Structure 1
Amino acid sequence: MVDIISRKDGPRREDAAAKRLIENNRATITHLADRLTQGGYSAGIAAKRAAAAPPPLSGRLIHDLAPGDRRRAEGGKPQIKISLNDRVVAYDGDSGRQLHLLGMIRHEAQTRYFALATKENGFISALPDDVLAPLAELDGQIIDKACPESLLAEEIAERLGYA
């Protein structure tokens, strides 16, 4: 048995130079290999890559874009939250998934008020009728010491039957 003791770790200088030479001339080497094997070299590499790649998805991809009321029927406990950027949302307490954007708390001339998510208030898509009807009276509700954000969230939850 022979033990070889080397002064330094890592590849030798000659090995590193040979590896650099091969990498710098990879296109020429591949071209010559294809010429010699009549394209078999690249075909073999492509077959190995295809075997290692995950199989392509067959069929159609299905994305669930169902409205919140259908998700609510599947389970979870809906809750109301007023976020730091003054958005009022209904979300699933179990998954954290947003069910509805109910509106925003807007600021206008030293007053804060609740703007319900309707086209008249500048929202792109309005709420479904079953959510909009119970909350219609709260549109324009002033937010101050008499009616803080927490009281607004409780009132919305009660009107929508989340409480």
Structure 2
Amino acid sequence: MVDIISKRDGPRREDERARRLIKANQGAITQIADHLTQGGYSASKRAQAQAAQMPPGPEGRRIYAVSSGAAVSTDSAEIRIKISVNNRVVAYDSGSGRQLHLLGEIRRQDGLSYFALASRENGFFAGLPDEVNAPIAELDGQIIDQNCPESLLTREISDRLGFS
């Protein structure tokens, strides 16, 4: 449980005493750890013991599934437009929370805020698909101010893409 590394060969007397103390009080230590973690300490020890008894996956490899398991479906939930904290304008599936499209971002220049459409011309790696780009293309460069706040921009994009 405890490995103490020292420069001398063999264990030091203090190390042996500490090891004996820990071993003698292992029950109390486990009980305190379970109390602090609400039983998580013993549960993790049991899970480790079970995992050690399980045979490895095919050819000794472990396989991990990293998908969320939820498929993005445009007919099961609403697609919404939002402007995130870092000024990115995205279309997302409200059912799964997955982002469907990065539509652009709100940029600031010379004290003005404006909407920059996700396109190669605006410095994005990939542009939007034509069915998304065409309806909102004329909003590229739209100034965001009191006359056109961010909420009005998201409503307009949503209406033009038919998500409302």
Q: TM above 0.5, one fold?
A: yes
- TM-score, L = length of structure 2: 0.60
Distance 1:90 1:49, change over 3 A: closer
Number of residues of Structure 1 aligned to a counterpart in Structure 2:
117
Give ranges in structure 2 of 5+ residues lacking alignment: 1-16, 24-48
Contact 2:74/2:93 (CA < 8 Å) preserved in 1? no
**3-state DSSP class of the match of 1:71?**
coil
Amino acid at match of 2:101: H
In structure 1, the residue matched to 2:106 is 105
Q: Which has the larger radius of gyration?
A: 1
Separation (CA, whole Å) in 1 of partners of 2:141 and 2:162:
21
Separation (CA, whole Å) in 1 of partners of 2:93 and 2:64:
24
1:1-40 matched pairs, under 5 angstroms: 16=20
1:10-159 matched pairs, under 5 angstroms: 16=20, 52-53=53-54, 55-56=56-57, 71-73=72-74, 75-159=76-160
Distance 1:118 1:62, change over 3 A: farther
**3-state DSSP class of the match of 1:131?**
helix
Contact 1:79/1:93 (CA < 8 Å) preserved in 2? yes
Task: Output one character per residue of 1:6-63: Cα deviation in whole Å (capped at 9) or x when no partner.
Answer: xxxxxxx7x939x8xxxxxxxxxxxxxxxxxxxxxxxxxxxx99872365269x9888
- TM-score, L = length of structure 1: 0.60
Query: Which runs of 4 or more aligned residues in structure 1 lie more than 6 Å from their structure 2 counterparts after TM superposition?
Result: 48-51, 60-64
Give ranges in structure 1 of 5+ residues lacking alignment: 1-12, 20-47, 65-69
Q: Report sequence identity in percent.
A: 55
CA RMSD of aligned residues (A): 3.2
Distance 1:128 1:83, change over 3 A: same
Separation (CA, whole Å) in 1 of partners of 2:101 and 2:66:
18
> Alpha-carbon deviation of 1:72?
3.9
